[in-house]
Each structure stands twice: as C-alpha cells, then as structure tokens.
Amino acid sequence: MKITIVDYNSGNISSVINSFKEVAQNKVNIVVTSDLKKIKSSDKVVLPGQGSFKSCVDALNNVSGLAESLNEFAINNKKPLLGICVGLQMFADIGYEETETKGLGWISGKVSKIDNKDGKYKLPHIGWNQINIVKESKIFKNIKNNSHMYFVHSYEFIPNDKSVISSTTDYSTNIVCSAEKENLFGTQFHPEKSDKLGLQIIENFINL
C-alpha cells in the first residue's frame, strides 16, 4: 500500500511525516511529494496544512494541476483522503482568513474566525482540549470519548450539513474538530502532535 503525504510548501510538515513513518514501520510505503502521477497512483492521501487558509490554498494552486489531481483522487475515484488542520478547512467552499478565498468545495461550508466572545477566549486556540465524539468514525477506533487532542487554530470549519461532523470541542462555542464524509476524513486538531492517541488515529487511517 502506498500513502502519499502531499508536500506543497504549506509550512513545516516534518512531524506529520515522522508520525506516519513511525506508525507505518516500513509495512506501508510513505511517499512525500507533490508529483501528480505519484498522487494519482496512491492508495491513500494525506493533505496537511499549516498557516492561513489563504496561504495554503495559494500554495496548493501554485502547483500546476494539483487541485485537479486531488479532486480526481478524492471525489471522482473516492479514495481515502485525510486533511489535517488547514487541510480539513480547505475541504470547504470558502474561507474568510485574510481575504475571501475559494476552497476545494468538497464538503459544503465555510471557514470563519472563532468567536472569541470579545477577547474572553484567547486566539489562536492552542494546546490540549477534549473532543466530544458525536458520530461513529472509522478513524476513532479505540479512541475514547473526551480524549485530549492538540490544537493550534484561530479559524473553524462550519459545514452546512451537520451530519458530516464526527467530533466537536468546547472553546467559546462548539467547534468542529473532525469531519467525515464517505472517503473524506479531516481533523482540525493535529494527530501528529497528539501523542499516543494521535498515533492511533493515524494508524486507523492507514488501516482503513
């Protein structure tokens, strides 16, 4: 099995790569690339994202044909894809960080700034927080409800269809911290920074 982590210059993804390699332990071929042919021939794809929504979308669009190849992989061919942090946010139709920016449009919705209740809640939302699992998800196998995951974000994904939400966290409001729609999986938290439970989520994705 070949899993590709998409490297499109969207910030430091070394911890994502290291976590996947640690879990895969040479049983699974982990490839890090933005090569379209290699992405298309993969069994699964991981789409990380660090920084702002706009900077990640711009970086993705700077690689000619990458958005189309990911669309073909995930939407046409229905192969498993995991979006992490801004990688999940880019599933949305539109994001409002820096300026209005078009997303990939895979899960209808928007990405807006977290309502910090006039400064009562610090932004970015950084650190460990409990997740409330609201629907059974394949990537939450062996993960107990109210487990702690690691977050770093100021913006949140708000899907139109609430049935795609697989977990939330309480930070000023109920924030979506993971979504699942058919072959699309996304986490707002960073599994690669969430210790053993995060590695379990990565393992669950590898084992899908």
Catalytic residue list: 85, 190, 192
Q: Are 53 and 98 in contact (CB under 8 A)?
A: yes
Helix (H, G, I), strand (E, B) or coil at 165: strand
Residue 18: CB atoms within 10 A of its CB come to 12
Residue 196: CB atoms within 10 A of its CB come to 6
* CA separation, residue 22 to residues 19, 66, 138, 181 (Å): 5, 27, 20, 27
The token duo for 136 is 């059974």
The single-letter DSSP state of residue 90 is: T
The token duo for 68 is 């189309």
